[in-house]
């Protein structure tokens, strides 16, 4: 309908939050806090990313969207899943900068990771 009226269609996609059934079927996809307990968010460093990608492909191919407005792709301080996967600085490298400073290389690397 948008295209018929000369409008672009860019739907809102709230990623990293799913119905409870997804977490029950794939508990290994859940982000974990520092204590190792699952949170309500899903880690994109797991096959969860494939689920999201497949949905986006469907939106583009089958529905013909012109873009996607992603919400919720972020890293929380309590998300230890990515750290355990070795995708952020480890004990051998400094951790993320705690203060926003775009002149700081460590801050730039953290932003690139996120």
pLDDT tens digits, 21-74 = 998 999 999 988 778 888 888 888 899 989 999 999 999 999 899 998 887 655
Q: Is the pTM of this model over 0.75?
A: no
Distance CA 114, CA 106 (A): 12
- Residue 37 confidence (pLDDT): 86
Contact 75, 97 (CB under 8 A): no
Contact 113, 88 (CB under 8 A): yes
Mean pLDDT across 3-30 = 90
In this predicted model, what pLDDT tens digit does every residue of 82-95 receive, in sequence order?
444 445 444 445 55
- Residue 61 confidence (pLDDT): 93
| CA quadruple 84, 86, 91, 95: dihedral, nearest 10 | -100
């Amino acid at each position: 309908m948008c295209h018929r009226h000369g409008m672009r269609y860019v739907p809102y996609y709230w990623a990293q939050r799913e119905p409870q059934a997804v977490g029950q079927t794939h508990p290994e996809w859940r982000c974990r806090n520092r204590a190792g307990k699952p949170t309500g968010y899903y880690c994109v460093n797991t096959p969860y990313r494939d689920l999201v990608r497949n949905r986006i492909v469907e939106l583009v191919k089958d529905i013909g969207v012109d873009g996607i407005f992603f919400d919720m792709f972020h890293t929380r301080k309590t998300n230890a899943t990515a750290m355990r996967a070795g995708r952020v600085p480890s004990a051998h490298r400094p951790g993320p900068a705690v203060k926003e400073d775009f002149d700081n290389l460590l801050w730039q690397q953290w932003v690139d990771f996120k």
